[in-house]
Amino acid sequence: MLIKSKGMKPSRRNFLKAAAAAPVAAVAGRAGAQDTPDPAIVEKQPWNQFLGAGVDEAPYGMPSKFEAHVRRQNVPWLTADPVSSINFTPLHELDGIITPNGLCFERHHSGVAEVDPAEHRLMINGLVDRPLVFTMQDLMRFPRENHVYFLECAANTGMEWAGSQLNGCQFTHGMIHNVMYTGVPLRLLLAEAGVKTNGKWLLPEGADAAGMTRSIPMEKALDDCLVAFKMNGEALRPEQGYPVRLVVPGWEGNMWVKWLRRIEVGDEPWHHREETSKYTDLLANGQARRFTWEMDAKSVITSPSPQMPITHGPGPLTITGVAWSGRGTIPRVDVTTDGGITWQQARMSGPSLDKSMHRFYLDIQWDGKPMLLQSRAHDSTGYVQPTKEQLRAIRGENSIYHNNGIQTWAVDEQGVAENVEIS
């Protein structure tokens, strides 16, 4: 039996022994459950007594009604209007590495374009031998590939530059999703069009009202970019660019043009809005960095976290989170419970894929004392995630984008977590 009385801290051994000997209720930490009959065990529940819904009740399945709180959320004061706005992936509610399609954060500059795939075309023009126009059916006839990649908006964690602000990893780190894409390597489409020798840059363009464009160097396009039409096995969601989007693995989300309708080949970058007034980083000396495409290694503890407090009291506690790098894989994540005085290596679990999210766990015995939780990612290039102080020393405090500093959650005796900074 797991007893949570004062002065007697249950060890993992006791806990496991209790788990083996006691009924299920005790494993769940319901101390005293053996004295009072547990209605969840001794009474019939409605789902025991009546027939449930038959097949076809939900031709497209939805999560249980008890999971209704697991949802994307925006922060209304961040933007003036929801059509040019952002919402956030509920990272604190998720596990493993794949983001379910309906929970992928959305970022639109002019709302969701409702594109009819039969009327959609992708054009390749500019410095090519044969300008081409593809229908969706044409695209499906090229050899396609499957890859899991994270997409992180460069503005993720951008509200935290001046100090801790938003109380939850959904809001501080939720401009990210990680799905399996099915698509055609962009290099195959470019080969079909025949890129001229002076064709060094690409300008993908969206079919939404924003007509969003970004300059992408040819090497990246030929390396691993995909023209994707499926996510997690099914058609892209309208909000993710249905029927086709550009996938630019490891690079900032803004370059992953949705509702992709045109790719122009040119000999130099275009210096459009999204790579001049936006998506550049103003440094302390007044100069702006630009073309900071790669997303640096980053991690965050998703539970416990402000939206996911510890509710079970002292004893066994699973700390978990996610880590990712635009430059490769994450072989290692360290976790501290004392604000960085001591670090423990976390347990990585699940597939470790290039430019994909990774899942880590640290299983501890919580003594019920306050904690300062942090995680620190190491990527396969040897790069180590910096502290916010280290980042500010180089970048100053005027930046919006590319904040990959170490996040701190202060957990109190009650298990309530808060977004803080320590120095």
**Chain residues in the site for ligand MTE (CB under 6 A):** 104-109, 151, 153, 177, 206, 208, 210, 212, 239-240, 253-254, 256-259
Contact pick of 127, 153, 210, 406 for Co ion (by CB under 5 A): 153
Contact pick of 199, 249, 253, 326 for Co ion (by CB under 5 A): 253
Residue 197: CA count within 13 A, CB half-sphere: 0
Cα distance between residue 5 and residue 135, in whole Å: 68
Residue number, 177 or 378, with CB nearest to ligand MTE? 177
Cα distance between residue 374 and residue 406, in whole Å: 7
Nearest-approach distance from CB 156 to Co ion, in angstroms: 8
For residue 218, give every residue at least 6 positions away whose Cβ sits within 8 Å of its Cβ, in sequence order, or none. 195, 199, 200, 201, 202, 265
For residue 141, give every residue at least 6 positions away whose Cβ sits within 8 Å of its Cβ, in sequence order, or none. none
Name the residue number minimizing CB distance to ligand MTE.
206
DSSP 191-256: HHH-B-TT--EEEEEESSTT--B--EEHHHHHHT-EEEEEETTEEPPGGGTTT-EEE-TTB-GGGS
Residue number, 220 or 258, with CB nearest to ligand MTE? 258
Nearest-approach distance from CB 345 to Co ion, in angstroms: 32
139, exposed or middle or buried, with CB in 10 Å at 0-12, 13-18, 19+? Answer: buried
CB 401 within 8 A of CB 291: no
Nearest-approach distance from CB 107 to ligand MTE, in angstroms: 4
Query: In this structure, how many other beta carbons lie within 10 angstroms of the beta carbon of residue 57?
Result: 8
Q: Which does 109 bind (CB under 5 to 8 A by kind): ligand MTE, Co ion, none?
A: ligand MTE
* Size of interface with Co ion, in residues (CB under 5 A): 4
153, exposed or middle or buried, with CB in 10 Å at 0-12, 13-18, 19+? Answer: buried
Residue number, 161 or 256, with CB nearest to ligand MTE? 256
Segment near Co ion (CB under 5 A), from 11-19, 122-130, 249-257, 269-277?
249-257
Contact pick of 107, 261, 358, 359 for Co ion (by CB under 5 A): 107
Q: Which does 259 bind (CB under 5 to 8 A by kind): ligand MTE, Co ion, none?
A: ligand MTE
Nearest-approach distance from CB 288 to Co ion, in angstroms: 17
Residue number, 175 or 263, with CB nearest to Co ion? 175
Cα distance between residue 171 and residue 86, in whole Å: 10
Q: 């072989």: which residue's tokens?
A: 331
Q: Which does 108 bind (CB under 5 to 8 A by kind): ligand MTE, Co ion, none?
A: ligand MTE
Q: Which does 257 bind (CB under 5 to 8 A by kind): ligand MTE, Co ion, none?
A: ligand MTE
Phi first, then psi, for residue 397 (nearest 5°) are: -125, 10
Q: Which does 208 bind (CB under 5 to 8 A by kind): Co ion, ligand MTE, none?
A: ligand MTE
Footprint on this chain of Co ion (rule: CB under 5 A)? 107, 153, 253-254
